[in-house]
């Protein structure tokens, strides 16, 4: 017993989330997405600059 109020509250909150659409700042969203894609591009460039074998190449050259 007692679950009725909790379920009613959850239903109310879910309904509010489903049907309430706040004003979206599309400019802020665009800035955020551009920053993330820029960070990914920089990470990709850095990984391309690294030697393909990394530390293994150093280790293998010392083993000979």
Token pair listed for 33? 């997405």
Per-residue pLDDT of the chain (64 residues; tens, 9 = 90+): 578 999 999 999 999 988 987 788 899 999 999 998 877 767 766 665 555 666 777 777 777 6
Residue 25 burial class via C-beta count within 10 angstroms: exposed 0-12, middle 13-18, buried 19 and up: exposed
pLDDT at 40 (0 to 100) = 74
Q: Decide if 57 contacts 51 (C-beta within 8 A).
A: yes
Residues 26, 4: Cα–Cα separation, whole Å: 39
What's the pTM value of the predicted model, to 2 decimals? 0.33
Q: Find where tokens 């379920």 sit.
A: 7
Give the start-to-end residue ranges of the domains of the chain.
3-63
Q: How far apart are CA 26 and CA 40, in angstroms?
A: 21
């Amino acid at each position: 017993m007692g679950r009725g109020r909790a379920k009613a509250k959850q239903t109310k909150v879910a309904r509010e989330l489903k049907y309430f659409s706040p004003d979206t700042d599309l400019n802020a969203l665009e800035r955020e997405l551009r920053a993330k894609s820029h960070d990914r591009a920089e990470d990709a460039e850095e990984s391309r600059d690294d030697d393909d074998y990394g530390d293994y190449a150093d280790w293998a050259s010392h083993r000979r």
